[in-house]
Amino acid sequence: MKRPLRRELVFQLVETSRLLRTYVEQRARQHGTTRAQWGVMSRLRRQEGLNQASLAEQMDLQPISLARLLDRLQSQNLIERREDPADRRAYRLFLTPEGRALVDGLDAVRTEIADEILGEAEEAAIQSALGTLSTIREQIRTRSEDKAPASAGNAA
Amino acid sequence: MKRPLRRELVFQLVETSRLLRTYVEQRARQHGTTRAQWGVMSRLRRQEGLNQASLAEQMDLQPISLARLLDRLQSQNLIERREDPADRRAYRLFLTPEGRALVDGLDAVRTEIADEILGEAEEAAIQSALGTLSTIREQIRTRSEDKAPASAGNAA
DNA sequence: GACATATGATAAGCAGGCTTACGATTGGGA
DNA sequence: TCCCAATCGTAAGCCTGCTTATCATATGTC
């Protein structure tokens, strides 16, 4: 079963995504932050009080990768690590007012980017692409769990 | 004109792609190389004798980013930098026999990954996704050129 | 209660992107 | 001819990911 288009899509996805990530990175920088930190703040805005491990799992990040992001965010006074009263190992994460203001302001940028990048795409194509991405994501998550039996039961 | 799906697609694309890149990275590592180095060798296989600047432009990479990739590839004896007889500033790039063998062997891996990740996706969805990615890539290239007027005429 | 194991966070070290800045060479004009 | 801008490659320094390993704390079992 030869399906060269599938191979091509993997390749294109990896390459296009690097371009897109870099582009978003530049746009974020114009507003004094970075794509990764933006992502953390967005997630925190939706759900505060998480500990680092939970947030890392939600974001498909390694805890250590998140920890260093949080270091930078904290040093800019954009997030807060509060000690968990019930677990002395853990912190609970909160946005500061500054952090909240920043991420709120960035919503417009997100819309801008989407319009720039996808302004000409048709609604149906976007729907379809979302579905395909979702499939891919699911497959990768499955494969990764196979190899890294982190926690038997996963919060799917 | 509110189009929340577009925003969602940008987000999903950035996130899914990180997962995919990491996954491809792992698979590449199982064969003793990396995704980025794999990409360089693939490109060189198609077209040898390029100089670094041309290859970087083709790959949408900054010359310095490519230079360090090439350093690693060269130290593994997978590529060769030959002095350009006509321009003493430049090198011309070639795969070594080892490099060629490695990248040839990886073709199977590429197919494997594509089947794993997209095995369940329909042909039409893949076609559509490719088109959408292509649109995105074009848009980003345009935007980036606006800001970075590297070379007026670009090899589109 | 004590010990083994699991878990939260971090440290060290690497790869791969970037921006900015620089030396060396090329090549075109005055 | 000589000089200056453009180009090729690189260095330094940053951010974001990773893997692997470690420390402190929780937790479950005997």
The pLDDT tens digits for A3-53 are: 677 888 888 888 788 888 888 888 998 898 999 999 999 999 999 999 999
Distance CA B60, CA B70 (A): 15
pLDDT tens sequence across B24-42: 888 898 898 999 999 999 9
What residues pair up with B79 in beta bridges, in sequence order? B95
pLDDT average, residue stretch B34-62? 94
Residues of chain B positioned with their CB less than 8 A from the CB of A23: 140, 143-144
Phi, psi torsion values for A128, nearest 5 degrees = -65, -45
At B1 the pLDDT is 55
Torsion A59-B132-B126-B36 (CA) sign: negative
Reading the block at residue A89, the tokens are 């190992």
Query: pLDDT tier at B151 (50, 70, 90 boundaries)?
Result: very low
Q: What are A79-87's contacts with CB under 8 Å, separation 24+?
A: A79/A40, A79/A41, A79/A44, A84/A51, A87/A51
At A73 the pLDDT is 95
Q: Judge whether A25 and B14 are in contact, CB under 8 Å.
A: no
Q: Which residue is nearest to nucleotide C6 (CA to C1')?
A: A151
What is the CA B113 to C1' C16 distance in angstroms? Answer: 21
pLDDT tens sequence across A76-113: 999 999 999 989 899 999 999 999 999 999 999 998 88
pLDDT tens sequence across B108-127: 999 888 888 887 778 888 88
Nearest to A94 by CA among A131, A154, A45, A57: A45
Q: Judge whether B55 and B43 are in contact, CB under 8 Å.
A: yes
Which one is predicted more confidently, A35 or B156?
A35
Nearest CB partner across the interface for A118, out of B9, B26, B123: B9
Those residues whose C-beta lies under 8 Å from the C-beta of residue B99, and which sit 6 or more positions away, are B41, B44, B73, B77, B78, B79
SS3 content of chain A, % helix, strand, coil (to 5): 70, 5, 25
Q: Examine the pLDDT at B146 and tell me if it is beyond 60.
A: no
What is the CA B123 to C1' C11 distance in angstroms? Answer: 47
Residues of chain B positioned with their CB less than 8 A from the CB of A8: 130
Phi, psi torsion values for A92, nearest 5 degrees = -115, 140
Q: Where are the alpha helices (DSSP H) in B31-96?
A: 35-46, 52-58, 63-75
Strand C close to A133 by CB, under 7 A: no
At A57 the pLDDT is 92
The helix (run of H) or strand (run of E) holding residue A105 is helix A97-118
Q: What percent of chain A has pLDDT over 90?
A: 47
